[in-house]
Amino acid sequence: MTQLILGQVLTFPGDPFAVPLTQAAHHEVHGAIAVDDGRILGSGPVDEVRAAHPGAAEVDHGDALILPGFVDAHMHYPQTAMIASWGKRLIDWLNTYTFPEEARFSDPAYAAGIAGRTLDLALAHGSTTVTSFCTIHPTSVDALFEAAAARGMAVWGGKTCMDRNAPDDLRDTAQSAYDDSRALLSRWHGAGRANYVITPRFSPTSTPEQLSALGALWAEHPDCLMQTHLSEQVDEIAWVRDLFPDARDYLDTYEAHGLLGANGLYGHAIHLMAREVDRLAEVGAAVVHCPTSNTFIGSGLFDMSLTARMRVGLATDTGGGSSFSMLRTMAAAYEVAQLRGQALHPAQLLWLATEGSARALRAEDRIGTLAPGSDADLVVLDLASTPAITQRSTRAGDIWEAVFPTIMMGDDRAVAQVYVAGRAVRS
């Protein structure tokens, strides 16, 4: 049955990093989105959409702003329970908090509980898609995809592979990483809305043999994404240099083993060398900006000018990131860019959290937009969710002045409704 979802509607016919704002964004003050069978049929002025779909049921969100559901392009669902843990540097944080927590995911019941909790928290904050690292345990992957299927969500994820520089109970081998990943890929990739991602954690925790095995698996399944970490902290880069003395740079530790390609997702990418930028751009890879994590762990300031050369996604990086909210993540991205002298417009922030991240996943034909044929994953934002936001937004002269206070100060209270494949998920 066709349903019309009414409110303010914001669409992005263009990339606001590439074309003028007048060409990149379109705002309907009184708009509507037509949805049927979990997909978007079209959007536009409410009278036009009504005329195209006479007799359709309507849900009116008044002055609330309707956007594509947020797309979190890099996170670690097994770190949900340890988010906001005090720490010093990345390696200390991994050893103190991350690895002990991830060891618990050998228990299928524990993994299932955290997977469900993570996805419910994501939905409460308006994120309808997450891209997650799991643990070395195949059961952790099953738990994520089963929880996503129960909620109808499009989710990307994969078994995290590590065969060195990790506790004994969190190590696999080159062969078991290949075998487990291959079996999970066969079971889950393309099953409903599940998308398998080949997942070496990062070069320091994989031997060259394991990296090569995963590179071989990716060559066998080039339609899959591959996710990992790249150049997050300067001491990490020095560690990589010691472990791979023959590599030209950090990226070369992946490239030499078949793990550089157009379907690669490289998280953080803060301290890139010129050659690394050139190679990522040349192959068409994507990098993912994780601003709350980068400031929380003290990693550095991402260079948003990379959007001129490659696809850039946006992510919470839970639990290194300090929030489940993509609103908070957009605010942090704005603050990080300010420190680099790069002022991001609200349109650019919203685009990064929706279509930009969807493009990073090579999934902009399915998620992250309001284009006809896209899955009807939507977030509805109350632009007056708190007294502080209300007193500012009432002075707004246009939609950007109205939405920016919610980006900078909003939280889950601003999320009035969420739709997953056209189904409202908040009571």
- The Cα-based distances of 201 to 162, 172, 395 in angstroms read 7, 12, 46
pLDDT score, position 94: 80
Pick the closest to residue 74 from 289, 256, 257, 239 (CA basis): 289
pLDDT score, position 221: 98
* Six-digit token string for 168: 């004994």
pLDDT in tens, 85-118: 787 666 777 878 888 899 999 999 999 999 999 9
What residue spans of 152-207 are helical by DSSP H? 174-188
CATH 2.30.40.10 residue spans of the chain: 3-68+369-424
**What rounded mean pLDDT belongs to the chain?**
96
Pick the closest to residue 200 from 265, 146, 271, 247 (CA basis): 265
Cβ(4)–Cβ(49) under 8 Å?
Answer: yes
pLDDT score, position 86: 81
- Percent of the chain surpassing pLDDT 90: 94
3-state secondary structure of 92: helix
Pick the closest to residue 300 from 272, 281, 258, 263 (CA basis): 272
* Six-digit token string for 214: 């995963």
- The Cα-based distances of 333 to 2, 238, 288, 327, 405 in angstroms read 37, 26, 11, 10, 14
Q: What is the mean pLDDT of residues 138-145?
A: 98
pLDDT score, position 120: 98
pLDDT above 80: residue 31: yes
Q: What is the mean pLDDT of residues 199-225?
A: 98
What is the C-alpha to C-alpha distance for residues 396 and 380, in angstroms, rounded to an integer?
19
- The Cα-based distances of 299 to 42, 55, 274 in angstroms read 42, 54, 19
Q: Provide the b/e sequence for 303-322 (b: ≥16 CB within 10 Å).
A: bbebbeebbbbbbbbbbbbb
User: What's domain 70-360's superfamily in CATH?
Assistant: Metal-dependent hydrolases (3.20.20.140)
CA neighbours within 13 Å on the CB side: how many for 118?
A: 35
pLDDT above 90: residue 380: yes
3-state secondary structure of 275: helix
Give how far the C-alpha of residue 354 lies from the chain's centroid of Cα atoms, to the nearest Å. 9
Measure the CA dihedral 396/400/406/407, to 10°: -150
Cβ(89)–Cβ(297) under 8 Å?
Answer: yes
pLDDT score, position 372: 98
What is the C-alpha to C-alpha distance for residues 38 and 47, in angstroms, rounded to an integer?
22
What is the C-alpha to C-alpha distance for residues 370 and 410, in angstroms, rounded to an integer?
22
What is the C-alpha to C-alpha distance for residues 131 and 154, in angstroms, rounded to an integer?
9
* Six-digit token string for 171: 């190590």
User: What's domain 3-68+369-424's superfamily in CATH?
Assistant: Urease, subunit C, domain 1 (2.30.40.10)
CATH 3.20.20.140 residue spans of the chain: 70-360
- Percent of the chain surpassing pLDDT 70: 99
Beta-carbon contacts of 186 under 8 Å, excluding residues fewer than 6 positions away, are: none
pLDDT score, position 321: 87
What is the C-alpha to C-alpha distance for residues 66 and 135, in angstroms, rounded to an integer?
35
* Six-digit token string for 235: 């001491």
pLDDT score, position 89: 67
pLDDT score, position 268: 98
What is the C-alpha to C-alpha distance for residues 427 and 425, in angstroms, rounded to an integer?
7
| Residue whose pair of structure tokens reads 């009571």 in the numeric block | 427
pLDDT above 70: residue 378: yes
pLDDT in tens, 266-291: 999 999 999 999 999 999 999 999 99
Q: What is the mean pLDDT of residues 340-355?
A: 98
pLDDT above 80: residue 307: yes
* Six-digit token string for 204: 């320091």
pTM, two decimal places: 0.97
pLDDT score, position 426: 87
| Residue whose pair of structure tokens reads 């839970």 in the numeric block | 318
What is the C-alpha to C-alpha distance for residues 67 and 169, in angstroms, rounded to an integer?
43
What is the C-alpha to C-alpha distance for residues 384 and 196, in angstroms, rounded to an integer?
38
pLDDT above 80: residue 74: yes
Q: Provide the b/e sequence for 341-353 (b: ≥16 CB within 10 Å).
A: ebebbbbbbbbbb
Q: What is the mean pLDDT of residues 141-161?
A: 98
